[in-house]
C-alpha cells in the first residue's frame, strides 16, 4: 500500500504571540502533531502555516496531499478565499480533511458544511473534559477505552451550529455541566471530513497520547480511496430505448 501523504496546517500565531503557549508548543502546534504522525507506519508528513507563501498550500502541495489537518483560531479571516476554494475542491475530489478545535470557525469548515457562524458556547476556565466514545466500532476510535479524559480544557457547549453529522464518534461532558458533539464525520463529494474538538492552545492537549492517537486514526480513516467512476451530464442510453 502506498504511503498516506499528510499536510498538518496551523495558523501558528498564538505560539508566536503568547509566551505560555510557546512554552507548551515551542515548535508550534503543527510540529507537535506532525512529529507524532511521522512516527506512524505508512504516513508521510509535512507541515504548512498561514504566513508561508500561499499559506504553505500551493497547488503542488495540495495535489500531493491525501489528508489535510487544520488548526486555526485568531486569523480565520486572513486565509485567502482562493486557497479555501482550492482546498474545498480537493476535498470534493477525495482529499481527507480533519478540522481541529477552533477550526469550527474556519472558512473551509463553513464552506464545506454550509454553516454561517460555527456558533457554540464556550468557557476558558480549564475544566475537566470527558470524551465518551459513542461508536466503539468506528476506525477513528480504534484502540481507545470507553472514554478519554482531559484534566484541563476549554469548554465548548451545545448548541453547536452544525448540520447533523453522518456519524457521531464522540460526545464530551464538561465539569461545568455542558455537553458537546466532539467527534463528527461528514462526507462531501468523494472526500471525508472529521471534526475533532479538543485542542485549546493554552493546555498541552496535543501532547496527550489518546488525542494524538485519535488524530492518527482519523488520518487513516480520511485517506482517499480510488472509488468508482462517475459520469455527469446528458448521456446516450446503455440499452436501446423504444419510444
Ligand atoms: Zn480554544
**8 A C-beta contact, residue 75 and residue 11:** yes
Q: Return the pLDDT at 2.
A: 87
CATH of domain 4-113+182-222: 3.40.50.880
Band of the pLDDT at 242, cuts 50, 70, 90?
confident
Domain boundaries, the chain: 4-113+182-222
Compute the distance from residue 235 Cα to the ligand 1 centre, in Å: 50
Compute the distance from residue 46 Cα to the ligand 1 centre, in Å: 24
pLDDT at 15 over 90: yes
Compute the distance from residue 231 Cα to the ligand 1 centre, in Å: 42
Compute the distance from residue 31 Cα to the ligand 1 centre, in Å: 18
Q: What percent of the chain has pLDDT over 70?
A: 100
Residue pLDDT, tens place only, 92-144: 999 999 999 999 999 999 999 998 777 999 999 999 999 999 999 999 999 99
Compute the distance from residue 57 Cα to the ligand 1 centre, in Å: 24
Compute the distance from residue 70 Cα to the ligand 1 centre, in Å: 14
Compute the distance from residue 206 Cα to the ligand 1 centre, in Å: 13
pLDDT at 1 over 80: no
Average pLDDT over residues 2-20: 97
Query: Which residues lie across from 235 on neighbouring strands?
Result: none
Compute the distance from residue 203 Cα to the ligand 1 centre, in Å: 9
What's CA 210's distance to the chain center, in Å? Answer: 16
Rounded to whole angstroms, how far apart are CA atoms 206 and 99? Answer: 14
Compute the distance from residue 102 Cα to the ligand 1 centre, in Å: 6
Compute the distance from residue 42 Cα to the ligand 1 centre, in Å: 31
Q: Return the pLDDT at 122.
A: 97
| Average pLDDT, rounded, for the chain | 97
Q: Return the pLDDT at 83.
A: 98
Compute the distance from residue 101 Cα to the ligand 1 centre, in Å: 6
Compute the distance from residue 91 Cα to the ligand 1 centre, in Å: 25
Q: What percent of the chain has pLDDT over 90?
A: 95
Residue pLDDT, tens place only, 146-162: 999 999 999 999 999 99
pLDDT at 166 over 80: yes
- pTM of the predicted model as reported, rounded to 2 decimal places: 0.96
Q: Count Cβ atoms below 10 Å from residue 11 Cβ, excluding itself.
A: 27
pLDDT at 22 over 90: yes
Compute the distance from residue 226 Cα to the ligand 1 centre, in Å: 35
Rounded to whole angstroms, how far apart are CA atoms 171 and 162? Answer: 14
Compute the distance from residue 84 Cα to the ligand 1 centre, in Å: 22
Q: Would you state the cell numbers that stand for residue 146, as one nine-digit string?
A: 470507553
Residue pLDDT, tens place only, 181-199: 999 999 999 999 999 999 9
Q: Return the pLDDT at 118.
A: 73
Compute the distance from residue 123 Cα to the ligand 1 centre, in Å: 9
Average pLDDT over residues 3-13: 98
Strand order in the sheet with 179-188: 43-49, 4-10, 67-71, 96-100, 191-196, 179-188, 167-174, 121-133, 147-157
Biggest alpha carbon distance in the chain? 76
Amino acid at each position: 500500500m502506498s504511503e498516506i501523504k499528510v499536510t498538518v496546517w496551523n495558523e501558528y500565531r498564538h505560539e508566536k504571540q503568547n509566551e505560555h503557549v510557546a512554552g507548551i508548543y515551542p515548535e508550534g502546534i503543527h510540529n507537535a502533531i506532525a512529529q507524532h504522525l511521522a512516527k506512524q507506519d505508512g504516513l508521510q508528513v509535512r507541515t504548512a502555516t498561514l504566513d508561508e507563501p500561499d499559506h504553505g498550500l500551493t497547488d503542488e502541495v495540495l495535489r500531493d496531499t491525501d489528508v489535510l489537518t487544520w488548526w486555526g483560531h485568531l486569523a480565520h479571516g486572513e486565509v485567502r478565499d482562493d486557497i479555501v476554494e482550492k482546498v474545498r475542491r480537493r476535498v470534493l475530489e477525495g482529499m481527507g480533511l480533519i478540522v481541529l478545535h477552533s477550526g469550527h470557525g474556519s472558512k473551509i469548515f463553513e464552506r464545506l458544511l454550509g454553516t454561517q457562524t460555527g456558533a457554540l458556547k464556550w468557557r476558558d476556565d480549564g475544566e475537566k473534559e470527558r470524551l465518551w466514545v459513542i461508536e466503539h466500532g468506528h476506525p477513528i476510535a480504534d484502540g481507545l477505552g470507553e472514554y478519554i479524559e482531559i484534566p484541563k480544557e476549554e469548554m465548548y457547549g451545545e448548541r453547536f451550529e452544525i448540520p447533523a453529522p453522518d456519524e457521531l464518534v464522540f460526545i464530551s461532558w464538561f465539569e461545568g455541566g455542558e455537553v458537546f458533539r466532539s467527534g463528527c464525520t461528514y462526507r462531501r463529494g468523494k472526500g471525508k471530513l472529521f471534526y475533532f474538538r479538543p485542542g485549546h492552545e493554552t493546555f498541552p492537549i496535543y501532547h496527550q497520547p489518546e488525542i494524538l492517537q485519535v488524530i492518527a486514526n482519523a488520518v487513516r480513516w480520511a485517506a482517499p480511496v480510488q472509488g468508482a467512476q462517475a459520469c455527469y451530464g446528458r448521456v446516450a442510453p446503455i440499452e436501446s430505448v423504444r419510444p
